[in-house]
Amino acid sequence: MAGSNEVNLSESKRVVPLNTWILISNFKLAYNLLRRPDGTFNRHLAEFLDRKVPANANPVDGVFSFDVIIDRTTSLLSRIYRPATGEEAHPSIMELKKPVTGDVVPVILFFHGGSFAHSSANSAIYDTLCRRLVGICKAVVVSVNYRRAPENPYPCAYDDGWAALKWVHSRPWLKSADSKVHVYMAGDSSGGNIVHNVALKAVESGIEILGNILLNPMFGGQERTESEKQLDRKYFVTLQDRDWYWRAFLPEGEDRDHAACNPFGPNGKSLVGMKFPKSLVVIAGLDLVQDWQLAYVEGLKKAGQEVKQLYLDKATIGFYLLPNNDHFYIVMDELSNFVSSNC
């Protein structure tokens, strides 16, 4: 079975609720159909299989949403989520962009997961998650529809994240009472990876970010760690999967010690002396890349940066997508506290 792409689904079934197991198992099946051995990707089938939802100016779960083109040259789009006040029945575009109210309104720049290749800002699972973040964090959420690999490899996703961050900071209607946009960044899987790399550029450019939230962030390296060896093929993910996605994303000829994959590895950039945003790193104890996530936390600590680690021993990937487990509620409380600590 070494190097196999088969997953022991029965083992996964014993540790997650049934509907979560069905959701992630279906993703796994679809993902296997989409990846080709030659490194190409069946994008047409991917778009067909990905259940999408449109933006909705009429409130759903107390939140309305609308789509905005940020960069026409790259067709970069973001979906904006705002809490409904109860006054808007059928708001116009001008009402959708009315100034935020309240002394401090957090703006969460969100990057969806999918290993740089799957999902989008209008995927149903991420639309639901972003609506939850609005209510839980009392925030405006801007979900970035970044370009995906392998058609758009490194650094396209980072460039799109950077463009979205600058756009958010430039919107007058996102400013709080102190005339500042109070920006946090959040993402899961590849989205967590994007958060780190966009934050690096922001620090170098003097653009303020109040905090980074990384949910099961996608990091790696050339060395095979103990968690990779022990958890390969056990809980939805295989090393063969991970390696395929890194080859699809990284520059041609680069290995997994590239700084995009291994930020504190031999080619990484030192954060010592930098004013890096505070970070919340959520780690699932049954995620095979957890050792790389733990190494990321240690890298931040060694560089003198503020970081909180939340390690959930029996959690698997994707546990935060459905409110059917204790881990979900623990993480949502942590996110709320993390964002509100600056308010």
Q: Which residues lie below 8 Å from residue 95, measured CB to CB, with a gap of 6+?
A: 88
Half-sphere exposure of 306 toward its Cβ, with a 13 Å CA cutoff? 9
Catalytic residue among 50, 159, 241, 287: 287
Tokens of 136: 């839980």
- How far is 136 from 130, CA to CA, in rounded Å? 10
Q: Say whether 260 sits in a helix, a strand or coil.
A: coil
- How far is 201 from 220, CA to CA, in rounded Å? 20
Handedness of CA 18, 23, 24, 26 (dihedral sign): positive
Catalytic residue among 176, 189, 190, 279: 189
- How far is 319 from 135, CA to CA, in rounded Å? 19
User: Is 336 annotated as catalytic?
Assistant: no
Q: Which residues lie below 8 Å from residue 87, measured CB to CB, with a gap of 6+?
A: none
User: Is 38 annotated as catalytic?
Assistant: no
- How far is 102 from 173, CA to CA, in rounded Å? 12
Residues with catalytic function: 189, 287
